[in-house]
Structure 1
Amino acid sequence: MINRISHIESVSTDPRQNLALEEALFFHCAEDECILYLWQNQNTVVIGKNQNAWKECDVNKLEAEGGVLVRRMSGGGAVYHDTGNLNFTFLCCKENYDVDRQLEVIICALKKFGIDAKKTGRNDITVHGQKISGNAFYERGRRCYHHGTIMMDVDMEKLSRYLTVSKQKLQSKGIDSVKSRVTNLKSHAAGITAATLKLRLIEAFEEVYGKSAEPLAQEALDQAQIAELTHKYGSWDWTLGRKIDFQYEISRMFDLGQLALQIRVNGGMIEDINVFSDFMDPNIAEGIAAGLTGLRHDKHQVDDALKKISAGSRSGVYGEAGEAVMEEIFSWIAEAV
């Protein structure tokens, strides 16, 4: 049961600091509390936990033009952030975690500007069929968070220049480019700003949860922990991940998203494997990698290993609708490997 709600705003536009603060809040949040965290990044590409940075973003161009690439803890796909975008995060324990209720806060806030927004698909909020918000989710133990974007006045030219979405993924959505799929709120409410949107979000947060939101100061958090986490989010190993010398790569688009495996075989054994995906549940890719590394390069052994992956890896945010897709994924891997 939620007995109190809190809100906090970041004063930084550095994505490494903002992701560090988000993770610190993840550990700080009390069992009976729900925290709304509002933050903005400047000229940033944020990729999902298991994505291949080099395939999702023109890393060299982004860095040459003063941008920053960061990797978040949650699953899902790559997004572009600038100060024309406002990010939100809801943090609470699993018993109080309710994505529909949390999204209602966003939809309620936008109604205050006369904007009729709707939740659509697996993780989007749209206005007149175009995306203004993408959402992603993270869970560890009894703690959860749900975060997303709200596009007010994002630089669409930079968004399309830095993000390198695969043609296969675009075709699966029936669109020609990532730019054509999204829209800015300024096109629907000319007077909207980050400052006014923050105020309306806090008002909506209080209305939906029926409580007064208490301000939470960053000084109340563990500053040493924030510094350590900031270093993590700025590190090469975390952001760009490890590279392996692989003999072959397999890739396919599923209902849950895109999945790619890079595999190195030595002496008939699967010596190393990288698994990339934009699935909303990051545990799926991690479970596949852990389950296949060190196995004999044999269809039957691979098939048996995949069947042993825990049911927890198969659920995530998908529920029963995802089970059939997971069986399809495992069957495809066993055949392709």
Structure 2
Amino acid sequence: MPNKKVQTKIIQSLSFDPWYNLALEEYLLNKVSENQMILYLWQNENTVVIGRNQNPWKECRCRELENEGGKLARRLSGGGAVFHDLGNLNFTFIMDKKLYNLENQLKIILQAVKKLGIEAEFSGRNDLTVQGKKFSGNAFYFDTNSAYHHGTLLINTDFQKLNRYLQVSKEKLNSKGIDSIQSRVVNLSSIRSGITIEDMVKSLEESFIETYGETIKEIHKAIFTEEIEKLYHKYASWEWRYGETPSFDITFQNRFSWGDIDIGLKLENGYIKSSLIYSDAIDYDLIQEISQSLEGVPFCKEDIINRIESIPIKSNNRIIIEDLKEWFSTKNI
């Protein structure tokens, strides 16, 4: 029996409000139909977006950002903090989970960049690079029946603001062999002069159509249906963006090949009463699972390692679990 033709749609948001754009993204994720693939294009103005499990106070100079009219936002997916302005274009592939195909999705982006005269490649755990410098970071989210893959495209971003608002640990910079964020990233307009956001939008749409066939395009103004308004209030809320910042009895911090981790534990009568883990690991779900699994465990090296070891190992989380077991084995607990 032949495969059903994939239903496709291109949606572009005209809002520059990160809380609205993230609300619309989640709304589309919840509403995507069987055998459907959506390309969602959006921009945020003067915004820092942090990953699902990140500590905003460590990733962003929040006071400077907000004093200068910027906004902090937290997304559903894992990964690290990014700066968005109107020199940056965001893309999201939103799909029936059965259609998820990272190779296809990356090919659309790389072909779109190539149409503009630039050869680029996928690099590391989630970056697109040109001439060894990053112009796009990617992150991923999987729900029960749907999924998304989203990322940034630096066209003409203000790197002075990027440097001012983002805080990156010296360990992270050193691990990449650089001394500043700016030395690692590049605007596509500096590689090929004259490239605009409009050029990239057109190129992405063409590349998407070449892969999936003719489609329809919808332009979304900031229209608030009841469902979008509810999601907007979530993304705009202090609780979602900043969350609880409790005091801990003990903390552990380290950097691994898959990302930074900062584990805070509150103890009571020799047991772990509560656990909170901050991380820029791409596997957002696993980080939350580890955090929850530690609660109620005796504060003892062997018990902590055994609990981490009890988490089901999948192909994509093996290295994280093994690294954490080895790391805790060196702790004087």
Q: Which category of TM-score, normalised to the shorter sequence, fits these structures?
A: over 0.9
Q: Looking at secondary structure, tell me which structure has more helix per residue.
A: 1
Contact 2:13 2:41 in 1 (8 A): yes
> 1:33 Cα shift?
0.9
Question: Which residue of 2 is the match for residue 332 of structure 1?
Answer: 327
Does residue 1:27 correspond to 2:22, yes or no? no
Q: Distance in 1 between matches of 2:328 and 2:137?
A: 28
The number of residues matched between the two structures is 328
Which segment drifts farther, 246-255 or 129-138? 246-255
1:49 aligns with 2:52: yes
Q: Percent of aligned pairs with the same residue?
A: 43
Q: Which residue of 2 aligns with 1:11?
A: 14
Matched, 1:236 2:238: yes
* Counterpart among 183, 188, 194 of residue 186 in structure 2: 183
Residue among 300, 310, 323 paired with 2:318: 323
3-state SS in 2 of match to 1:77: coil
Aligned partners of 2:309 and 2:321 also within 8 Å? no
CA contact (8 A) 1:254 1:329 kept: no
Q: Structure 1 stretch 103-112 or stretch 155-164: which is displaced more?
A: 103-112
Structure 1 residue aligned with 2:68:
65
What SS does the corresponding residue of 1:177 show, helix, strand or coil?
coil
Native 8 Å contact 1:251 1:261 kept in 2: yes
Report the Cα offset of residue 10 of structure 1.
Answer: 0.5
CA RMSD, 1 decimal? 1.6
Instruction: Check conservation: 2:11, 2:39, Cα contact below 8 A.
Output: yes
- How high is the TM-score relative to the length of structure 1? 0.93
The aligned residue for residue 138 of structure 1 is 141
Residue type at the aligned position of 1:327: E
Residue 240 (structure 1) shift: 0.6
1:96 equivalenced with 2:91 (yes/no): no
User: How many Å apart are 1:207 and its aligned residue?
Assistant: 0.6
Deviation of 1:325 (Å): 4.3
Cα displacement string for residues 154-181 of structure 1 (whole angstroms, at most 9, x for unaligned residues): 0000000110001111111111111100
CA distance in 2, matches of 1:111, 1:333: 45
Decide whether the 8 Å contact of 2:14 with 2:220 is kept in 1: no
Partner of 2:88: 85
1:304 to partner: Cα distance = 2.0
Task: Identify the residue that residue 115 of structure 1 maps to in structure 2.
Answer: 118
The alignment status of 1:152 with 2:150, answered yes or no, reads no
Q: Given residue 326 of structure 1, which amino acid in structure 2 is its aligned partner?
A: I
Say if 1:24 and 1:222, in contact at 8 Å, map to a contact too: no
Give the whole-Å Cα distance in 2 for the aligned partners of 1:91 and 1:162.
29
Unmatched tracts of structure 2, length 5 or more = none
Amino acid at match of 2:243: G
> What is the SS of the residue equivalent to 1:55?
helix
Off by >3 Å, runs of 4+ in structure 1 = 216-219, 333-337
What's the CA shift for 1:300? 2.4
Shift of 1:216: 3.6
Q: Does 1:278 align with 2:280?
A: yes
Say if 1:70 and 1:234, in contact at 8 Å, map to a contact too: yes
* 1:334 CA displacement: 5.4
Q: Is the 8 A contact 2:13 2:219 kept in 1?
A: no
2:276 aligned counterpart, secondary structure? strand
CA–CA distance in structure 2, aligned partners of residues 308 and 24 of structure 1 = 35
Q: Are 1:302 and 1:334, in contact at CA under 8 Å, matched by a contact in 2?
A: no
TM-score, structure 2 as length reference: 0.94
1:208 to 200, 211, 218: 211
Partner of 1:165: 168
Which residue is 2:227 aligned to?
Answer: 225
Deviation by residue 1:161-215 (Cα, 9 ceiling, x = unmatched):
1100011111111111111000001112222111221111101101122x11212
SS for the counterpart of 1:178 is: coil
State the partner residue of 2:308: 306
Aligned equivalents of 2:292, 2:138: Cα separation in 1: 27
